[in-house]
Amino acid sequence: MRIGEVSRLTGVSTRLLRYYEEQGLLNPARSAGGYREYAEADTVRVRQIRSLLAAGLSTRVIAEILPCATGPLPALEACPTLLATLRGELADLDTRIDELTRSRQALARYLATAHAPTHEYAA
């Protein structure tokens, strides 16, 4: 099937499908005329990519773990680097959450101690 049909079936724009190809996440065949030809399995692959992106993974990490993915959700099989990669990503998320929590607390303190400006204008 052509890129437009994959876009329609998955709800992913043709621009994003091309980007996924550039990132090595999709590898459609090419017709004699140079058109991308996608297999049915590519629609599942696109759903896998979208699900992994929604989990906060980068396309670099997704490219690394995508061979471990099965089904559209996807389910992940324990490939050699999968667990270490996911543990590292989870640790990075925890660090970012801690940093954001500290930032939020600091902003809340500033807000709590801020005074509305008083303007006295002489008429």
pLDDT digits (tens, 9 = 90+) for 5-22: 999 999 999 999 999 999
CATH fold of the domain at 3-113: Multidrug-efflux Transporter Regulator; Chain: A; Domain 2 (1.10.1660)
Q: How many CB atoms lie within 10 A of CB 91?
A: 10
- Assess whether pLDDT exceeds 90 at residue 43: yes
Q: How far is the C-alpha of 31 from the C-alpha of 48, rounded, in Å?
A: 25
120 token code pair: 């006295």
Residue 74 phi/psi, 5-degree rounding, is: -90, 165
The SS3 assignment for 95 reads helix
pLDDT at 122: 56
- Assess whether pLDDT exceeds 80 at residue 33: yes
- Assess whether pLDDT exceeds 90 at residue 101: yes
pLDDT at 103: 98
